[in-house]
Amino acid sequence: MTVERMGFFTDTSVCIGCKACEVACKEWNAVPADGLDLLGQSFDNTGQLDANSWRHVAFIEQPAPDDSGDMRWLMMSDVCKHCTHAACLDVCPTGSLMRTEFDTVIVQADICNGCGYCVTACPYGVIDRREDDGRAWKCTLCYDRIGDGLRPACATACPTESIQYGPLDELRERAQARLEQLDLPEARLYGHDPDDGVGGQGAFFLLLDEPEVYGLPPAPVATTRNLPGMWKRAGFAALTMAAAAAVAFLGRRP
154 marked ligand binding residue:
yes
- The pTM is what? 0.84
15 marked ligand binding residue:
yes
Give the pairing of strands 6-11 and 203-207.
parallel
87 marked ligand binding residue:
no
Largest CA distance in the chain: 90
Confidence of residue 158 (pLDDT cuts 50, 70, 90): very high
Name the strand (E) or helix (H) holding 154.
helix 153-157
How far is it, in rounded angstroms, from Cα 164 to Cα 156? Answer: 9
6-222: which CATH number, 3.40.50.1110, 3.40.50.970, 3.40.640.10, 3.30.70.20? Answer: 3.30.70.20
217 marked ligand binding residue:
no
122 marked ligand binding residue:
yes
Average pLDDT, the chain: 88
How far is it, in rounded angstroms, from Cα 224 to Cα 234? Answer: 15
Confidence of residue 252 (pLDDT cuts 50, 70, 90): low
Instruction: Give pLDDT, residue 42.
Output: 67
Each residue's pLDDT tens digit, 217-240:
999 999 886 555 444 444 545 566
83 marked ligand binding residue:
yes
Instruction: Give pLDDT, residue 130.
Output: 93
112 marked ligand binding residue:
yes
18 marked ligand binding residue:
yes
What's the mean pLDDT in 58-72? 84
Instruction: Give pLDDT, residue 223.
Output: 82
What's the mean pLDDT in 208-218? 95
147 marked ligand binding residue:
no
How far is it, in rounded angstroms, from Cα 208 to Cα 185? Answer: 9
How far is it, in rounded angstroms, from Cα 35 to Cα 126? Answer: 19
42 marked ligand binding residue:
no
**Of 155, 156, 202, 206, nearest in space to 177 by CA:** 206
- b/e code 141-160 from CB counts within 10 Å (16+ = b): bbbebbeeeebbbbbbbbee
- pLDDT of 75 strictly over 50: yes
Per the CB < 8 A criterion, the answer to whether 136 and 107 are in contact is yes
What's the mean pLDDT in 176-202? 95
How far, rounded to the nearest angstrom, does the alpha carbon of residue 6 sit from its chain's CA centroid?
A: 14
Q: Which of 46-50, 74-78, 208-212, 218-222 has the lowest mean pLDDT?
A: 46-50
Q: For 174, what's the count of Cα atoms within 13 Å in the CB-facing half-sphere?
A: 18
Each residue's pLDDT tens digit, 77-89:
999 999 999 999 9
56 marked ligand binding residue:
no
